Structure formats: structure tokens, C-alpha cells
Amino acid sequence: MSTYITNARVFDGERVLEAHSVGIEGSQIVTVGQEPPRDARVVDAEGATLLPGLIDGHVHSSFEALRIALGFGVTTELEMQGYWTPEQRKEIEENDAIADVRSALLGLMAPGGHPHELIAELNEHRPGGQGWTPPSVSTPEEAVAFVNARVAEGADYIKVMIEEGTVMGHPGLPMISTETLRAGVAEAHRLGRQVIAHAMTLESTVQAIEVGVDGLAHLFIDRPHTPEIVSAIADAGIFVTPCLVVSSSVMGGTGMALAADPRVSSRLTESWLATLRGSFNKYPEGKPDDVLASVAALRDAGVDIIAGTDASIPVPSHGGVVHGASLHHELQLLVKAGLTPVEALRAATSVPARRFGLSDRGRIAPGARADLLLVDGDPTIRIDESLSIRAIWRRGAAVSEH
Ligand SMILES: [Zn+2]
């Protein structure tokens, strides 16, 4: 039996359509703008807006995180460092009670380089001490071997860390050499994988562009933008996932307002709410308005902007950011930066789908996956209404509230 969502405002991932009904059969969207057949199950969406399921372009995930994300209409998370076995990946693909995931698996990092400093902080709080130390690369040969190992494990793309530590409260962190980075990027491209760089300073961003990455998992926060850096990013055709929520947290911001919103608090446990109320606060001297202005300049230069959160684990040191809810916060900050609500929504749907080769999602069109989010009101005009969630479907399966 087919399901028809009728009387909805429909944002298809690019624009608001004239059509008001979307038909689903099994896991797919089958029609847009057609009357429901007599035997269809009809969902009357009067007063609501139907959107493609949202895509979070930067997370570090877990089964729990994927469940939380889906509850906020985030049907796909793009993980920028993490770990899953092929069996777990299959389980996620088939489980319509959690969000889908794509992953870089482990990123390329220098011995003792980022994110070792974050892992060390976490290990301090862990009973029994030491904990886990991730593998690292020091030579071009090691980078090539590392990339091959990740691709063999099922990495969808490759992540590289270019971080000297200033904005992370650890200046002088060891870094991967340019030569080693170049070798890793070339090997990833040879194997048909994109490379996404962690870079949070202007200088690291320049280096990321020089070694030929395809996307930036953050936007630099240490300096105002210059015409040179904006045109360098635009000319290289690189996408940018500014992660404004986490940048704001690194500069002392919190998710306090979000945590006080019943649309958010009703969907999170106390430990995630405590995380959301917290703050990274590693770089309080940073200027959030400069970062917003950089986003506007990139948009004006035609750079693809992707919405991402850097949501990770529920611990106080990773404060201000949680799965699902913070993607809605990111949309609000993108609008604050100067994107229109429609541009912000594209950044969480069609743009990441296009840049990550997810041709089956991020759009409402016949043949696309029925990953859908129905919200009260009109977030294409008032972005805050993306949080007024009425219903969610993953592969055509209605997601029940837990
Ligand atoms: Zn991250």
C-alpha cells in the first residue's frame, strides 16, 4: 500500500515546489504532485512543510547518536572520524529506527597530533587510566598504506587532520608534513575517495588547499577572511562545512537556549542535555562575528556550504553540541551568517548529497529514498520552525517517537 502526504508545502532540497503531495511506496518516493489513489494511506499535512531528511555533514557517531539524530529528522550522518565494522555498517543500513551513516573511519593524524590532545583529556576522566591511542602517520609511505587500509575497511572518504593546536588550547601540536599529506591525498584520489580536511586556522586552510583536499570539515576561526583565501577556496572548487555550532562553542558559546526549548529537551536524555548546555571554551578570544562574515563571503563567491555540527559524545568537554538538535542550531547560525533559509536548508539536503555522491537522497523526487521530515510551519521562511517536527520517515518507514 502506498502512503500519500497531502496538502503540504514541499521543499524538494533545492526549492519550494508548486506541488503539495508526495507519494511513497516501500522505501521510495514514487510521485510528486499527484492525487492519492483510492487505496492509499493519506497523511494530511495541512499547515506543515515536507523536506528531504536532513544530512549532518560532520559528526562522530555511535548507535545511540544515530538514534538521537533520526529523532530530529537527521536521516543521514556523515562521520569525519570514527570506527565501524562492515557488519555494523550493514546493520545501520537496514535499521530504520536509526539514521544512516557514511564514514571516513579513522583520519590521518600525526604522532601525538590532533585529536590526541582530546583523547588524552578523555582518558584522564576514564577509570583505569590509559585508554586507546589511535594509529598515526609520519611518512608518505605510511600515509599511502594508511589510506589503503581505511579504504579496505570501507571508508567512504578520507579525513586528514591539519591542526597546530592554537584554537584547541594546545599550541604546538605535532603536524603531518606537507609531503606526507600530499601522498595521502593523491592515494585517496587514486582510489576514488574524496579527502576532507580538519583545519581551523587560516594557515592550515591554505595548506589544505595546497595539498589538494576536496572539502573542509571546519572553517578557520583565528582570523577574519581575506579576499585571497575566499578566492583560493572558490577557485579550488572545495566545499566548506563551517560547523558554526562547534566554532561558537570553542569560542565560549553554549547550546543553553536550545536545551531550554521543549522541542529539544523532550528528545534528549539528561547527559546529552548537560552536554548541550556546556561549552568547549578553548578559544574565548575568537570572534564569532568574523566567522559568520567568512561564511557570507564564501557564499557570495559561490562556494558550496554544507551544514554540519561536529556532534560527538556526551561529555562536558565536548559541550554545546549534540546529535540531531545541533543541526537545527547550525541552520539557524547559517541564516544568521546571511544565508537565506532556503540556502541553509539546501546546505543540509541537496548540497551534501551532491558533494558526497549520495544520489539517492537529499531530494524529494520520484525514485529518491523516502527519507522525509515533516514540520509544522514554514522553515523556508522561518528557519527556527525546522525544529517543529511532526513526522519523520526513513526509507519510507514512519519513525515513532521514543
Ligand atoms: Zn570533528
Sign for the pseudo-dihedral over CA of 22, 340, 387, 284: positive
pLDDT in tens, 348-384: 999 999 999 999 999 999 999 999 999 999 999 999 9
| DSSP conformational letter for 305 | B
User: Helix crossing, 227-236 with 288-300: angle to 10°?
Assistant: 50
pLDDT value for 123: 73
Distance 174 CA to ligand 1 centre (A): 18
Residue 323 C-alpha to ligand 1 middle, in angstroms?
12
All three cell numbers of 248, joined, read 561558537
Distance, CA 39 to ligand 1 centroid (Å)? Answer: 46
Burial of 76 (0-12, 13-18, 19+ CB in 10 A): buried
Q: Is the pLDDT of residue 133 over 80?
A: no
The whole-angstrom separation of Cα 273 and Cα 258 is 9
Q: Ligand 1 centre and the CA of 225: distance in Å?
A: 22
pLDDT of 402 strictly over 60? no
Q: In this predicted model, what pLDDT tens digit does every residue of 38-89 receive, in sequence order?
A: 999 999 999 999 999 999 999 999 999 999 999 999 999 999 999 999 999 9
Total length of the chain: 402
CA–centroid distance, residue 60 to ligand 1 (Å): 6
CA of 81 to the centre of ligand 1 (A): 7
Q: What does the pLDDT look like over 329-344, one tens digit per residue? A: 999 999 999 999 999 9
Burial class (CB in 10 A: 0-12, 13-18, 19+), 67: middle
Q: How far is the CA of 222 from the centre of ligand 1 (A)?
A: 17
**253-312 pLDDT per residue, tens:** 999 999 999 999 999 999 999 999 999 999 999 999 999 999 999 999 999 999 999 999
Q: How many angstroms separate the alpha carbon of residue 241 from the centre of ligand 1?
A: 11
Confidence of residue 126 (pLDDT cuts 50, 70, 90): low
Ion ligand 1: residues, Cβ under 5 Å: 80, 310
Using the mean position of ligand 1's atoms as its centre, give its distance from the Cα of residue 347 in Å: 18
pLDDT at 317: 78
> What separation in Å is there between the alpha carbon of 41 and the centre of ligand 1?
41
Find where cell 543540509 sits: 348
In the reported structure, the alpha carbon of residue 128 is separated from the centroid of ligand 1 by a whole-number distance in angstroms of: 26
CA dist 32 and 10 (Å) reads: 9
Ligand 1 centroid to Cα of residue 65, in Å, is 14
CA-CA-CA-CA torsion sign (317, 318, 322, 327): positive
In whole angstroms, give the CA distance from residue 364 to residue 371. 9
Ligand 1 centroid – CA 22 distance (Å): 35
| Domains parsed from the chain with CATH numbers | 1-52+361-402 (2.30.40.10), 54-359 (3.20.20.140)
For residue 127, what pLDDT is reported? 59
User: Concatenated DSSP letters for 72-115?
Assistant: TTEEEEEESS----HHHHHHHHH-TTS-EEEE--SPB--TT-TT
Q: What's the pLDDT tens digit per position in 166-203? A: 888 888 898 999 999 999 999 999 999 999 999 999 99
